[in-house]
């Protein structure tokens, strides 16, 4: 949320939800003026049509149950205003972390039926970046631009209403 404040977002228009209470407490210490909730993504504490934009940053790849993922996706759609959008940023491939599973484009489409999607493969594989970045930012930039070794999807999801 700190990044969005840096981009000029109004604090009163930002809301944050995290499953882990300690993360909510830590964020409240640093940004006490922001509305934060501790909640499970299966039951979001927001009214219908509350937001123009809903962001999902590596969450779904950490949920191993298909049923829970589907419930979370169903919770995200109603909180969007008409013409709102979900921004998805998550792994589609993560071979090095056993407690996560990549979410491929077909699964994203199944999770959000009746929507339009714009997919971008971004983020050079973190293990490669960690090894290379100290030697050459330019090499990281060039490899990322090839898309071949990119491990995340950035997806704009718009309900067809």
Q: Would you state the pLDDT for residue 161?
A: 73
Residue 94 predicted with pLDDT over 90: no
- In tens, the pLDDT along 12-44 reads 889 999 999 999 999 999 999 899 999 999 999
pLDDT over 90 for what percent of the chain? 84
Mean pLDDT (whole number) for 42-55 = 95
Residue 98 predicted with pLDDT over 90: no
Q: Would you state the pLDDT for residue 97?
A: 79
Is residue 93 very low, low, confident or very high in pLDDT (cuts 50, 70, 90)?
confident
- In tens, the pLDDT along 73-89 reads 999 999 999 999 999 99
Q: According to DSSP H, which parts of 31-161 are helical?
A: 66-76, 105-111, 126-132, 137-146
Domain parsing of the chain, residue ranges: 40-159
Task: Name, in order, each residue with C-beta under 8 angstroms of 151's C-beta and a sequence gap of 6 or more.
Answer: 91, 92, 93, 94, 102, 123, 124, 125, 126
Cβ 14 vs Cβ 31: under 8 Å: no
- In tens, the pLDDT along 55-65 reads 999 999 999 99
| CATH dotted code for 40-159 | 3.40.50.150
Q: According to DSSP H, which parts of the chain are helical?
A: 2-6, 21-30, 66-76, 105-111, 126-132, 137-146
Q: Three-state DSSP class for 125? A: coil
Is residue 95 very low, low, confident or very high in pLDDT (cuts 50, 70, 90)?
confident
- In tens, the pLDDT along 123-161 reads 999 999 999 999 999 999 999 999 999 999 999 999 997
């Amino acid at each position: 949320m700190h990044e969005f404040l840096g981009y000029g977002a109004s604090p009163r228009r930002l809301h944050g939800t995290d499953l882990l209470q300690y993360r909510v407490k830590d964020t409240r210490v640093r940004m006490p003026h922001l509305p934060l909730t501790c909640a499970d993504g299966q039951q979001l504490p927001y009214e219908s049509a509350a937001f123009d934009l809903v962001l999902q940053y590596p969450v779904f790849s950490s949920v191993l149950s298909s049923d829970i993922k589907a419930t979370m996706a169903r919770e995200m759609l109603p909180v969007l205003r008409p013409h709102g959008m979900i921004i998805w940023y998550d792994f589609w491939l993560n071979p090095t972390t056993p407690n996560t599973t990549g979410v491929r484009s077909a699964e994203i489409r199944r999770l959000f039926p009746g929507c339009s999607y714009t997919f971008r493969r971004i983020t050079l594989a973190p293990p490669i970046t960690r090894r290379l970045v100290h030697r050459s930012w330019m090499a990281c930039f060039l490899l990322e631009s090839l898309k071949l070794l990119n491990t995340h999807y950035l997806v704009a999801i718009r309900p067809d209403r």
